[in-house]
């Protein structure tokens, strides 16, 4: 290896460090970790835990989301045509597959910690991913544990989901107060109508880490 190779290696390393710093800063500002729990009778426990990592940008800046998708090598970019207070479409980069969250997203942010309050939120999110990797979401006690973790994180009062899980009583539909969208902490990009995959029966509650 000659001197020019050493220079190129140093430049590439510096470029990677700069890019990683950009990723962390971008996610600190525009990223969102969420863990909705849905009523889904096709699941073992009739409930589905669906963790998501989402980053939002307006249409004029959506190219950075494609850059992020290529960087992580997983997830997809979706358009959300509900503008809300925005004058242009919003785009979402979303990673929702458990294996991608476990093998790519969680390890990356453990190695490169976030710098805002989202760091603590991410650590809670990572704990949920670990519990799901152990199959805890497929048991009653595990579902309760996951619901308690997310609820404690957001300082919420006991939810209807926890009541149902603890009492093992069936429900046919959520109360109006339990129907929550992502449009608060996550912005319009988190609206339930734009979630991917087949619709589940009803969403009972949702915790958003931001």
In CATH, what number is assigned to the domain containing residue 39?
A: 3.10.28.10
> Tokens representing 150?
């997310």
3-state secondary structure of 34: strand
Which is more confident, 9 or 180? 9
Strand order in the sheet with 37-39: 47-49, 37-39, 202-205
| Selected residue with higher pLDDT from 36 and 11 | 36
Who wins on pLDDT, 151 or 100? 100
- The per-residue pLDDT for 2 is 56
Q: How far apart (Å, rounded) are the C-alpha atoms in residues 153 and 201? A: 26
Task: Indicate the angle between helix axes 3-30 and 63-72, nearest 10 degrees.
Answer: 120
Question: The domain containing residue 22 runs over which residues?
Answer: 3-209
Would you state the pLDDT for residue 28?
93
pLDDT in the model for residue 104? 97
Q: What confidence tier does 190 reach under pLDDT thresholds 50, 70, 90?
A: very low
**Quick one: average pLDDT of 124-141?**
94
Q: What span, in angstroms and rounded, lies between the C-alpha atoms of 91 and 85?
A: 14
pLDDT over threshold 60, residue 186: no
Helices (H), the chain: 3-30, 63-72, 98-100, 106-111, 118-133, 140-153, 160-167
- Say how many domains are in the chain: 1
Number of Cβ atoms within 10 Å of the Cβ of 91:
23
Tell me: the pLDDT tens digits for 48-79? 899 999 999 988 889 999 999 999 999 999 99
Angle between helices 160-167 and 140-153 (to 10 degrees): 160
User: Quick one: average pLDDT of 147-168?
Assistant: 67
pTM (whole model) above 0.75: no
**How high does pLDDT run on average in the chain?**
74
pLDDT band at 149 (very low <50, low <70, confident <90, very high): confident
User: What pLDDT shows up at residue 92?
Assistant: 94
Q: In angstroms, what CA-CA distances link 60 with 16, 65, 104? A: 25, 11, 27
pLDDT at 37 over 60: yes
- pLDDT given for residue 15 in this prediction: 62
- Token pair of 177 as six digits: 């107060």
User: Could you tell me if 58 and 90 are in contact, meaning their C-beta atoms sit under 8 angstroms apart?
Assistant: yes
- The CA-to-CA distance between both ends of the chain, in Å, stands at 46
Across the range 189-205, mean pLDDT stands at: 37
């Amino acid at each position: 290896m000659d001197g020019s190779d050493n220079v190129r290696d140093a430049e590439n390393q510096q470029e990677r460090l700069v890019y990683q710093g950009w990723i962390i800063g971008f996610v600190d500002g525009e990223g969102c970790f969420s863990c909705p729990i849905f009523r889904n009778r096709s699941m073992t426990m009739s409930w589905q835990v669906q963790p998501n990592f989402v980053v939002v940008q307006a249409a004029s800046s959506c190219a950075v989301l494609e850059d992020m998708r290529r960087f992580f090598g997983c997830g997809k970019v979706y358009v959300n045509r509900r503008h809300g207070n925005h004058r242009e479409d919003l785009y979402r980069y979303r990673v929702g597959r458990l294996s991608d969250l476990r093998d790519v997203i969680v390890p990356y942010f453990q190695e490169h910690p976030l710098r805002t309050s989202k760091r603590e939120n991410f650590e809670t999110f990572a704990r949920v991913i670990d519990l799901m990797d152990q199959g805890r979401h497929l048991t009653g006690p595990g579902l309760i544990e996951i619901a308690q973790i997310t609820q404690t994180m957001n300082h919420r009062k006991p939810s209807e989901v926890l009541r149902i899980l603890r009492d093992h009583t069936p429900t046919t539909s959520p109360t109006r107060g339990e129907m929550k969208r992502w449009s608060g902490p996550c912005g319009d990009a988190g609206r339930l109508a734009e979630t991917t995959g087949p619709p589940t029966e009803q969403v009972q509650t949702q915790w958003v880490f931001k």
